[in-house]
Amino acid sequence: MALLYPTLYRRRITDVTVEDLRALGAQGILLDVDNTLTTHDAPDLTEEVKAWLETMKTAGFSMIIVSNNKAVRVAPFAEKIGLPFHALAHKPLATGFLAAAEQLGIPSSACVAIGDQIFTDILGANLSEMPCILLEPIQPEVEQKFIVFKRKIERVLLNTRRQRKKKEADYGG
């Protein structure tokens, strides 16, 4: 079960601070795309997310996009925001996370993964022995049945006592 718990909870990517990342020993940040940086159907970044990326760049973090999506979807987005990417990452397998850390030239133990899904982002990061931050998805999925099903299980998991306490501490109630 420990594999399904994030190191830290935050609501939005913009709630993750330089201090959070430094406290986790991060030099590199592995970023999920869908529902973490953008929504499934709105591939553009908001001004807030753009500013967040700038802040992290300025603070000296190296960032890479790690997505299970195909390169054809990820590449134009990555190019637009000026970040390298690792597509078809097969999260929750550790391989994509480890390859992305290598691409950054940073040991995986000095990387932090950020994403919105327990069964891909969090499980994959834990299998890679990487600290990880779980966000709330920007937009709840309505169409994708499998994701909706996973969300239901995620809600059950998040409501277990230990998760609830940690969440309250991280979110501040």
| Residues 6+ away with beta carbon under 8 Å from 130 | 30, 97, 101, 108, 109, 111, 112, 113
Contact 134, 9 (CB under 8 A): yes
Could you tell me how far CA 44 lies from the centroid of its own chain?
17
27 or 35: whose CB is closer to Mg ion? 35
d(CA 104, CA 77): 18
Shortest CB 161 distance to Mg ion, Å: 26
* Residue 68 CB contacts under 8 Å (≥ 6 apart), including other chains: 88, 89, 90, 91, 96, 120
**Nearer to Mg ion (CB atom), residue 60 or residue 146:** 146
Nearer to Mg ion, 31 or 111 (CB): 31
Give me the least distance between CB of 42 and Mg ion, in Å please. Answer: 13
Three-state secondary-structure class, residue 33: coil
CA distances from 24 to 20, 71, 79, 126, 141 (A): 6, 29, 28, 14, 30
> By the 8 A CB rule, do 9 and 170 touch?
yes
What's the closest the beta carbon of residue 116 comes to Mg ion, in angstroms? 4
Interface residue list for Mg ion (CB under 5 A): 32, 34-35, 116
User: Which CB atom, from 59 or from 153, has the smaller least distance to Mg ion?
Assistant: 153
Closer to Mg ion at the Cβ: 20 or 32?
32
